[in-house]
A and B are shown apart, each in its own frame.
Chain A
Amino acid sequence: MNDITIRIAGANGDGIDSSGDLIAKVFLNVGLNVFAYRSYQSIIRGGHVWHQVRISQNELHGPGEKINILVALNQDSIDLQSAHMAEGGSVIYDGSKSNVDALKDRGLNLVNLPMLDIVLKNGGDPLLKNVVAIGAIMKMTGIDIGVFSDIIKSKFGKKGEMIVNNNINSAKAGYDDPAVKNIMELKGDGKKRYMMDGNTALSIGAFASGCRFYAAYPMTPASGILHWFAAHQKLGVVVKQTEDEIAAINMTIGAASAGARSMCGTSGGGFSLMVEALGLSGMLEVPIVVVDSQRGGPSTGLPTKTEQGDLLFVSHASQGEFPRIVVSPRNIKESLYVGAEAHNLAEKYQCPVIILMDLYISEHAESINTFELEGIKVDRGKIATKSDGRFKRYEITTDGISPRSFPGTPGLEFIAPSDEHDEYGNLVTDFNAGIDKYVGIRRQMHEKRMRKIDTMLKEEKGVFVPDVSNADAEYFFVTFGSTTESVMEAVELLSPSGKKFGIISFKYLMPLDVEKTKALLSGKKLIDVEYNFTAQLAYLIKANTCIDISHRILKYDGEAFTGREIADKALELVSKW
């Protein structure tokens, strides 16, 4: 067996997350690919939560479907999770706490592990129950128990010998318990891999590109970025938790105006509050990066569940017209590069860049073989060094980009105004509104800003077009952002079907190189796949290219897309084509 899924389920407060991380780490450390995904609730104690780790020798693109090994820490976990068991799967439970009578005739491997009993013999910390289960999992999958000891020593070494020993002894007791039998051999390649979630990758990428300021108000699922920067601020990043998202984006604009690469992050609700200042960034031509990690909407919606429902919102948010870039990383590795690229694009084109994440990519963790850091270059765009006479901050240029200056530099002072202005930054409103000369300046200045879109399309070759895989396929999935990974998995699952499927995936969504995008989409059999009700990507494509994608696979219940469900629906659509 070369692809298994392990799920640990219990209540909030049972340490499910840290146990999930430990399980993933065990398999990562022997050189296997892992994909970790969790389901949680907006409550701190009680309820029902689970963490799932899929393990394979091959690269993974999804969280797995059926559970091969379930660790059920309470009765709820047996009752609620048994429907998701794979045929012949194993259920690890504690017979002194839970009843598995309902599972008896299903051909499952029921492992009655006295977790509580073992814990009481090893210091009594109830969270050690999970560690007993991890020991059992290692025995069942043929992993040397020494792997766990190494992880615990490096993770808890600082907490003292007793804690380390209690953990190691608990895991060993689980490993050696007579109820636990080896059922498979999972062999890794011994290679070292990274494991991180999308928020972490994005944060590291932004840091690598020289981001020196991050502001946010806590909001799931973007809080991980705030936590990352807070934990790493001593690397030289000013981190500010603000009174609200309005303050977060306005501080970001202030810090960027002072000359620091600056970013803020939130989810859709917080982005709603940021909208006015997004336009300020467009008007002042101050480069900022804004992360919207989407969750189920509208309103507070599904706080702990995923969605891609903000695409059209972020693409058009704020009054008036101004250039902006919208980019949606398609996997965790790409999130790191996007975190870096976004700052270059913002500063080169002096406009806001919105990174569109979602809960799924922000919060699930994956193993990653390597990162190519050499590709990360820093380009701060045009910066003025001197001026003959009064500095023209908003100089009308052919490419629309006016060199900027930073406060502190003598001779390049200017006032950046939110009102329409001339090349110096003087208002063309107030006294000048409606006067012919200033009407003309407004026209020129608006055209200057909007011209930056043409410039970026010209200069950033191949960036603002979707990627195509399996170019000779008969059918093409059209998708964007994190859904791309689920679609990749679907394409793998569809390969025995005899129909050939390809993928057209969008990373950059705004601006779009309309001619090239149209050429790529034209004449193909297209199936739009996205995580929302209204097919927002299809809408954007139609608005730009007049191509209507009427075959659609849409989901909006908050649970992760699986490759299987996309594959099944695709075959159904194809059968009626």
Chain B
Amino acid sequence: MTDAQYRSGEKPVWCPGCGDYGVSAAIMKALGELNIPKNDIMVVTGIGCSSAISGQFSTYGIHGIHGRLLPIATGVKLANPKLTVIGAGGDGDGYGIGAAHFIHAARRNIDLTYIVMDNEIYGLTTGQASPTSLIGMKTKSTPFGVTENPINPLSLAISAGATYVARGFSGDPNHLSMLIKNGITHKGFALIDIMSPCVTFNHDNTYDWLRKRIYKLEDQQHDPSDMAKAFEKATEFDRDGSKMPLGLFYKTSKPLYEELDPVIMEGPVVGRSPPTTAEVEAVLKEYM
């Protein structure tokens, strides 16, 4: 199958040059290679420029509310674990308003793929600081510069218990597509944080700025099973602003939430018939 079947054909809302075009292409390519029936895919997004990616899909999907895509996606997966559930949103959506859900989804190790298009700015609301904006960045809401340290989604995900933690770059869709594909096939909570530049509101972290800093972990024989090394690489940019690694930082195998839950392990609850009167009577008997 080709990736065309996953595309709705709708015109994207993004500005010319927006990084999210590359992300959309990379997801479609990964799905095409995996050849998952489109009726078994549920794409859940939040709110923001990047969350509008839902409109690009011809699969099932929910374009939810700001910051809540992970709980929605979790609910879908808990009810029907046979579905391939992909969450996609932005840095404000996932690391700002939805940060609590991010941590808890990671620690649950539910089989979700979470794609974050990180442009270090609020685009849809026309250019305010985001939780990943760097110190000193001047935005509409911080005319004298950002005064808070940025969230590091990679080290946060590793410490919270995510079992697949990667970073890609929308300017390199083939590499990104590989990371997404492996994230989808990974059994467990997979985070793919993507440097996806905002060409309209973020004039600091541009394609050029990123290209000067990025390098690939696979070129340095990084061992993603080594948690300490993963933290070292995940925090490299925090310590040395001149280098930003891309690729798979951390990967491990832990039991899935779905495998531990006493109900889900017996199969999806969707499609089960309601209880019989005899079953309800048996429950009532406990109270006699």
Candidate in A248, A250, A257 with the most chain B CB atoms within 10 angstroms: A250
Determine the chain B residues whose CB is within 8 A of the CB of A320 once the complex forms. none
For residue B143, CB closer than 8 A to chain A, the reply is no
The docked-state distance in angstroms from the alpha carbon of A343 to that of B252 is: 40
A415 touches B55 (CB 8 A): yes
For residue A138, CB closer than 8 A to chain B, the reply is no
For residue A459, CB closer than 8 A to chain B, the reply is no
Closest residue of chain B to A279 (Cβ to Cβ) is: B65
Determine the chain B residues whose CB is within 8 A of the CB of A236 once the complex forms. 263, 266, 269, 272, 275
Q: Which of A233, A255, A284 contacts B76 (CB 8 A)?
A: A255
Per-residue CB contact flags for chain B residues 3-38 toward chain A (1 = under 8 Å, else 0) read 000001011010000000000000000000000011
Determine the chain A residues whose CB is within 8 A of the CB of B41 once the complex forms. 407
A262 touches B79 (CB 8 A): yes
For residue B287, CB closer than 8 A to chain A, the reply is yes
Given A238-B78, A255-B79, A407-B83, verify A426-B63 contact (CB < 8 Å). no
A235 touches B279 (CB 8 A): yes
B80 touches A251 (CB 8 A): no
Given A247-B71, A258-B83, verify A204-B270 contact (CB < 8 Å). no
Q: Which of A196, A238, A371, A426 contacts B264 (CB 8 A)?
A: A238
Per-residue CB contact flags for chain B residues 251-276 toward chain A (1 = under 8 Å, else 0) read 00000000001111010011111110
Per-residue CB contact flags for chain A residues 371-408 toward chain B (1 = under 8 Å, else 0) read 10110101000000000000000000000000000111
B269 touches A207 (CB 8 A): no
The docked-state distance in angstroms from the alpha carbon of A572 to that of B140 is: 64
Q: Which of A234, A284, A371 contacts B62 (CB 8 A)?
A: A284
Determine the chain A residues whose CB is within 8 A of the CB of B72 once the complex forms. 250-251, 253-254, 257
Determine the chain B residues whose CB is within 8 A of the CB of A240 once the complex forms. 74, 78
For residue A431, CB closer than 8 A to chain B, the reply is yes
A258 touches B61 (CB 8 A): no
Count of inter-chain pairs, beta carbons less than 8 A: 200
CB distance from A49 to the nearest CB of B (A): 23
Q: Which of A212, A233, A373 contacts B262 (CB 8 A)?
A: A233
Determine the chain B residues whose CB is within 8 A of the CB of A196 once the complex forms. 287
Closest residue of chain B to A231 (Cβ to Cβ) is: B286
The docked-state distance in angstroms from the alpha carbon of A102 to that of B80 is: 65
B63 touches A213 (CB 8 A): no
B80 touches A407 (CB 8 A): yes
Given A210-B273, A259-B80, A413-B59, verify A373-B281 contact (CB < 8 Å). yes
A277 touches B65 (CB 8 A): yes
A407 touches B60 (CB 8 A): yes
B39 touches A250 (CB 8 A): no
For residue A194, CB closer than 8 A to chain B, the reply is yes
The interface residues of chain B, by DSSP majority, are classed as mixed
Q: Which of A254, A256, A408 contacts B74 (CB 8 A)?
A: A254
CB distance from B90 to the nearest CB of A (A): 15
B39 touches A407 (CB 8 A): yes
Determine the chain B residues whose CB is within 8 A of the CB of A47 once the complex forms. none
A234 touches B52 (CB 8 A): no
The docked-state distance in angstroms from the alpha carbon of A413 to that of B36 is: 14
Interface magnitude class on chain B:
35 or more
CB distance from A418 to the nearest CB of B (A): 5
Candidate in A378, A407, A426 with the most chain B CB atoms within 10 angstroms: A407
A213 touches B61 (CB 8 A): no
Determine the chain A residues whose CB is within 8 A of the CB of B74 once the complex forms. 240, 247, 251, 254
For residue B288, CB closer than 8 A to chain A, the reply is yes
Give the contacts of A3-34 with B (CB-CB under 8 A): none
Per-residue CB contact flags for chain A residues 241-252 toward chain B (1 = under 8 Å, else 0) read 011101110111
A192 touches B288 (CB 8 A): yes
Interface magnitude class on chain A:
35 or more
For residue A409, CB closer than 8 A to chain B, the reply is yes
B280 touches A204 (CB 8 A): yes
Determine the chain B residues whose CB is within 8 A of the CB of A259 once the complex forms. 79-80, 270-271
For residue B101, CB closer than 8 A to chain A, the reply is yes
For residue A227, CB closer than 8 A to chain B, the reply is no
Closest residue of chain A to B274 (Cβ to Cβ) is: A210
Q: Which of B58, B103, B269, B284 contacts A371 (CB 8 A)?
A: B284
Determine the chain A residues whose CB is within 8 A of the CB of B287 once the complex forms. 194-196, 200
Given A193-B288, A373-B277, verify A280-B104 contact (CB < 8 Å). no
Determine the chain B residues whose CB is within 8 A of the CB of A232 once the complex forms. 283
A276 touches B269 (CB 8 A): no
Determine the chain A residues whose CB is within 8 A of the CB of B47 once the complex forms. 418
Determine the chain B residues whose CB is within 8 A of the CB of A124 once the complex forms. none
The docked-state distance in angstroms from the alpha carbon of A239 to that of B226 is: 34
CB distance from B62 to the nearest CB of A (A): 5
For residue B135, CB closer than 8 A to chain A, the reply is no
For residue B68, CB closer than 8 A to chain A, the reply is yes
The docked-state distance in angstroms from the alpha carbon of A194 to that of B288 is: 4
The docked-state distance in angstroms from the alpha carbon of A192 to that of B283 is: 15
B11 touches A418 (CB 8 A): no
A262 touches B75 (CB 8 A): yes
For residue A416, CB closer than 8 A to chain B, the reply is yes
Determine the chain A residues whose CB is within 8 A of the CB of B8 once the complex forms. 415
For residue A436, CB closer than 8 A to chain B, the reply is no
A250 touches B261 (CB 8 A): no
Per-residue CB contact flags for chain B residues 68-112 toward chain A (1 = under 8 Å, else 0) read 100111111111101100000000000000001101100000000
The docked-state distance in angstroms from the alpha carbon of A204 to that of B282 is: 11
Determine the chain A residues whose CB is within 8 A of the CB of B273 once the complex forms. 210
Q: In the complex, given contacts A212-B272, A256-B79, A258-B42, what are 18 additional A-B residue pairs having Cβ atoms less than 8 angstroms apart?
A: A238-B263, A243-B101, A246-B68, A247-B104, A256-B75, A258-B75, A258-B83, A280-B64, A284-B62, A376-B277, A406-B80, A406-B270, A407-B41, A412-B39, A413-B59, A415-B54, A416-B62, A427-B55
Interface set of A (CB-CB < 8 Å, partner B): 192-196, 200, 204, 207-210, 212-213, 215, 232-240, 242-244, 246-248, 250-260, 262, 276-277, 280, 284, 371, 373-374, 376, 378, 406-419, 426-427, 430-431
User: Can you report 5 residue pairs joining A to B where beta carbons are below 8 Å apart?
Assistant: A213-B75, A238-B269, A251-B78, A410-B39, A413-B39
6 closest residue pairs by CB, A with B: A254-B75, A210-B274, A251-B75, A250-B71, A415-B61, A258-B79
